[in-house]
Amino acid sequence: MANDNSDPVFKASRKALLAEYEKNNIQFTATTRPYKSTQTFEFVVVNTIGAIAHAVLRAQTVTEWFSYGRGDQIPIGAGLFGTATDAETNLSKGRRTNGVEDFIIEGISATRKCVRVRYASADVPVLAVDTDVRNAYLGTVCLVDPAAIIMPPQGFSPFNLEDLLFEALKPNLAIEFVWDRRNFIPIGTLDQIPEGGAKSLLRASGDPRTDNRYKVPEGYVWRRADKPDGDFAVRGTVADPLVVPINLVTLPAAQAAATPTHIFIDVAIRLHGLGLNQPGQNVG
């Protein structure tokens, strides 16, 4: 028989959790608001030959989404740290659902949030005195560079009819769910996880629709903090090294092409499903 999301067997986690709430006479409200978390993948730029260099993603690089909350210090590549904002995550605390919520994971999606390029301080144009502009050259600010003025075109350029670095990363990144730092469920590789949101077709990872996601009809339950399975993260492991030759660009007011030290891609993952919350006493 063909799998059908309407079949009760494919609602096992949702059915079991709702039955638990009913049995214990727990009042709750429900929401389908997804959880979001962002992590950085670091390409080290090495081996410059003329106007060509090589961006390398090292094997066995491991990162975890949903491991931090808003306001936490997070690594953003090359030993640098930044403060997590609402643009990175909507978690209040890492590895925990918000409030007193049980969340049934019934889908997952992934998108490339932004690309960043880092140059050595000596290569940053002297006239780049605005703080945000200077930080864009130093790789701490997201960069949109459609004309490849300061970003090598393999990082961001309409001449590449795809999101090149992200598409190269996806089939090489193994994904697993981790509960309580000891229970692991392999999910596959990132190339089976769709875009899940609005984006231009040129830059989308598949069809950019909010309903386009890797579906988990049986569901996995991320419990509230006082329960087993209340500690959760999505772990990504780079399985093999990845090398991307890149064209170097001449920065504004420079006499020759500069070699960046790093290219970073920030990848956001969203968990879709049903959240069950116990209502509080305060109404505002």
Question: pLDDT-based confidence at 3, cuts 50/70/90?
Answer: very low
Instruction: Report pLDDT for 114.
Output: 93
Q: Classify residue 184: in a domain, yes or no.
A: yes
Q: Classify residue 137: in a domain, yes or no.
A: yes
Predicted TM-score of the model (pTM): 0.91
- Of 95-104, 155-164, 230-239, 243-252, the one with minimum mean pLDDT is 155-164
Q: Classify residue 255: in a domain, yes or no.
A: yes
> In this predicted model, what pLDDT tens digit does every residue of 265-280 receive, in sequence order?
999 999 999 999 988 7
Q: Classify residue 31: in a domain, yes or no.
A: no
Give the position of tokens 């880092």.
118
283 pLDDT higher than 70: no
Helix, strand and coil percent figures for the chain, each rounded to 5: 15, 40, 50
Domain span including residue 189: 9-18+37-277
Give the chain's radius of gyration (CA, Å).
21
First-to-last alpha carbon distance for the chain, in angstroms, is 49
Q: Classify residue 261: in a domain, yes or no.
A: yes
Q: Classify residue 67: in a domain, yes or no.
A: yes
Domain count, the chain: 1
Q: Mean of the per-residue pLDDT values for the chain? A: 91
Q: Classify residue 178: in a domain, yes or no.
A: yes
- Tell me the torsion sign for CA atoms 89, 92, 93, 95: negative
Q: Classify residue 117: in a domain, yes or no.
A: yes
